[in-house]
A and B are shown apart, each in its own frame.
Chain A
Amino acid sequence: MAILLIYIVVFVAAFYAVKIVTKTTTSKKDYTSLKTVTFGDESAVSPNRAASIISVLSIFMIWAAFTGSKLIPFHVPGPFIGELNFTYTAMNAMGETDDAQVTVVVYDVQSGKIPKKPNIEPGKGFALNDSAKIVAWRSGLIKVKRNDIGGKDSGYKITSINGQKISPKEEIFIDNARIFMTAKGTLNFVPEKGWQMQPVWLPPPEDVWSRLIWVASEGYKNFTLSEHLGWSLIRVVVGFLAGALIGIPLGYAMGLSGWFRGWFDPIVEFMRPVPPLALIPLVIIWFGIGEQGKIILLFLASLWIMTISSRAGVSGVKISKIHAAYSLGASKSQIMRLVIVPNSLPEIFTGARVSMGVCWGTVVAAELVAAQKGAGMMIINASKFQMTDLVIMGIVLIGVIGYAIDILMRIAENYLVPWKGK
């Protein structure tokens, strides 16, 4: 909740800051800046690149600030770490009272250094001083009565802490901690947790980075990082190519022949809305968890998309183009090769882009279910060992690769079908 609020504040603050900066620094009068009607004019809305940069930076900053990263100088308050004292007042069975001091050491278990319980002088009176050590972000029971003289008597109880009255099932706050008294009168000590996330939930960016370096050099579970990612990619490419190899001719046949369309329409229309992930169980039952099963799953994921897009590409050809080609003396095979195929390429490319995206998502999911190597296997395995940094690293890499695939497809599209949309 706090993070969301901070994010909104950053969003709004950055908006006004950028607005003021651009107002004072630029006096450029391009065509769009002269438009008086911009609200509702889609062509007047272009992405503000400053906003994009600040957006990425702010996510990174918030991440770093909430995980106590060493990369940036400012953080939200972390958990209390160090030593703190409080005094409790006990009343024994006879109704006498006495004070004793408790020293608590709160330490960070991630640092690897586990401190010893401090040695404390017992002090005078029947209530004796105590010490305890508690891991940051956690809580612990401190049985202060245990060493007290007469502490096990039934009437012996703690009445106040640092002068504040306390009774069972009540809690009080002292500096950097909250103390709750259980029903049986034991103190549950909760050191201040701060706003930072525990590394097991969200590790700081540098941990993720060093995990990347580590995995890149050491590998993970018998395979190097590039083997994990490479295998995922190979599965996608092979599955996609197989889908395209069958799907494109099938789509052409459906676009050109009524018999083919009638025959395959029910199958394609039924299979198209079935998410490929729903096929995983059946594919595993039929083909096992090996490479064969995964490639068949990806083949099925891309097959329908490629079929439908190439069918749409064929049906989308303007009849006047076909007529023109016939009038110029083209034969059926020439029309196929020189008119129908090139005319359908833009649609096929759109299908290929969608299909590659779906395949990439499907391969990761399939590897989550069962695999010995692959990006999905890597992160599901890491999550079992609570290696959150590796999980996040994997997710980032999967995202980057998915984005890269899309960009490559777009470049190929611009290069191969420059007439698209014109």
Chain B
Amino acid sequence: MKGLSIENISMRFDLKNGNSIQALKDVSLEIEEGQIITVLGPSGCGKTTLLNIIAGFLAPTNGEVILNDQVVLGPGAERGMVFQQGALFEWMNVRSNVAFGPRMKGMPKSEQNEKVQHLLEIVGLSDFEDKAVYELSGGMQQRVALARCLANDPDVILMDEPLGALDALTREKMQGLVLKLWKETGKTILLITHSVEEAVLLGERLLVLAPRPGRIHKEYKLPFAEMGSGMDLRDVKKTEGYTETRDEILSIIWEMEEEIMGKVESN
């Protein structure tokens, strides 16, 4: 069966002081091929833990992740990652960064170059092949990171707050780019974010996680990603239902945050 399925994942680890933390509890999720899913939740709800488990950097204490009928046991090229920032290799120029995955597979140099050129065109960085990555702005660096991930042609793209460090304007442009890439490549994308707006705009499905223990609190099926791949994101924000959805989710998150604060204070 094609797709990503997360089955009853629990994650519990012991702290040095004897306590233990239940980061995730019985999280189950079926993701069909080509879906874009955003994951939202207050800080400490286990979003990043979930992503790291899917990526294979962490082994869950219970449950398993199955991608295309294969149990995930460690990191692999079929699950690409895009990180917040600073995950590019500064010692390589843009071309070598993007070509990193194909190079690991042993793809011939000429094919690599072709692929790099094609991908940079898609992310809007044509003719930047020979630039050093530290010469690029934050937004451009994230474009390179997206291209690097796509170069490997992964089945699933996992994004860990990829736009978190960008300024508002760049972020909006990049949101458009993510949707465009999703539509053009048909990849399955799982994106973690702190921004409710971003989650509503980009998520075909939106998962709200609740903390302590981390679990899926609510799931939304939203039409805005589909719209956004064809029209300006600002117009999407004006469509009916957008504001209501955003406010509803925002108040859920607020409530959870307040609850956490209350617990901290009563301690």
A residues adjacent to B (C-beta < 8 A): 318, 320-321, 323-331, 334, 338-339, 342-343, 345, 417-419, 422
Q: How many A-B residue pairs have CB under 8 A?
A: 74
Judge whether B134 and A323 touch: CB under 8 Å. no
Given A323-B57, A327-B81, A329-B77, residue A338 in contact with residue B134 (CB < 8 A)? no
Judge whether A327 and B55 touch: CB under 8 Å. yes
Q: How far is the CA of A369 from the CA of B64 in the complex (A)?
A: 68
Interface residues on B, range: 20 to 34
Q: How far is the CA of A305 from the CA of B139 in the complex (A)?
A: 38
Chain A nearest Cβ from B228, distance in angstroms: 26
Judge whether A323 and B91 touch: CB under 8 Å. no
Judge whether A329 and B132 touch: CB under 8 Å. no
- For B74, B101, B149, B158, the residue with the greatest tally of chain A CB atoms inside 10 Å of its CB is B101
> Cβ of B241 < 8 Å from any Cβ of A?
no
Closest 7 CB pairs of A and B: A329-B77, A419-B90, A326-B75, A422-B134, A342-B91, A320-B87, A328-B101
Judge whether A422 and B75 touch: CB under 8 Å. no
Chain A residues closer than 8 Å to B55, beta-carbon distance: 323, 327
Judge whether B87 and A318 touch: CB under 8 Å. yes
Chain A residues closer than 8 Å to B134, beta-carbon distance: 419, 422
> Cβ of B152 < 8 Å from any Cβ of A?
yes
Chain A nearest Cβ from B171, distance in angstroms: 19
Given A323-B75, A419-B132, residue A329 in contact with residue B90 (CB < 8 A)? no
Question: What is the chain B residue whose CB lies nearest that of A420?
Answer: B90
Judge whether B89 and A321 touch: CB under 8 Å. yes
Judge whether B104 and A334 touch: CB under 8 Å. yes
Q: How far is the CA of A324 from the CA of B162 in the complex (A)?
A: 13
Judge whether A329 and B91 touch: CB under 8 Å. no
Tell me if A's interface is mostly helix, strand, loop or mixed: helix
Q: A327-B154, A331-B104 are in contact. List 5 more A-B contacts (CB 8 A).
A: A321-B88, A325-B89, A327-B75, A327-B80, A328-B77
Question: What is the chain B residue whose CB lies nearest that of A343?
Answer: B91
Question: What is the chain A residue whose CB lies nearest that of B154?
Answer: A327
Q: How far is the CA of A338 from the CA of B88 in the complex (A)?
A: 12
Contact of B81 among A323, A339, A343, A419 (CB under 8 A): A323
Judge whether B152 and A328 touch: CB under 8 Å. yes
> Cβ of B76 < 8 Å from any Cβ of A?
yes
Judge whether B77 and A321 touch: CB under 8 Å. no
Chain B nearest Cβ from A310, distance in angstroms: 16
Q: How far is the CA of A408 from the CA of B27 in the complex (A)?
A: 58
Contact of B100 among A328, A342, A417 (CB under 8 A): A328
> Cβ of B79 < 8 Å from any Cβ of A?
yes
Tell me the residues in window 135-162 of chain B with beta carbons closer than 8 Å to chain A beta carbons.
148-149, 152, 154, 158
Chain A nearest Cβ from B131, distance in angstroms: 12
Judge whether B132 and A320 touch: CB under 8 Å. no
Judge whether A329 and B76 touch: CB under 8 Å. yes
Judge whether A342 and B104 touch: CB under 8 Å. no
Chain A residues closer than 8 Å to B92, beta-carbon distance: 342
Chain B nearest Cβ from A14, distance in angstroms: 40
> Cβ of B105 < 8 Å from any Cβ of A?
yes
Q: How far is the CA of A334 from the CA of B106 in the complex (A)?
A: 12
Chain B residues closer than 8 Å to A338, beta-carbon distance: 89, 100
- For B75, B101, B152, the residue with the greatest tally of chain A CB atoms inside 10 Å of its CB is B75
Chain A residues closer than 8 Å to B88, beta-carbon distance: 321, 324
Q: How far is the CA of A189 from the CA of B79 in the complex (A)?
A: 96
Q: How far is the CA of A392 from the CA of B90 in the complex (A)?
A: 46
> Cβ of B83 < 8 Å from any Cβ of A?
yes
Judge whether B75 and A320 touch: CB under 8 Å. no
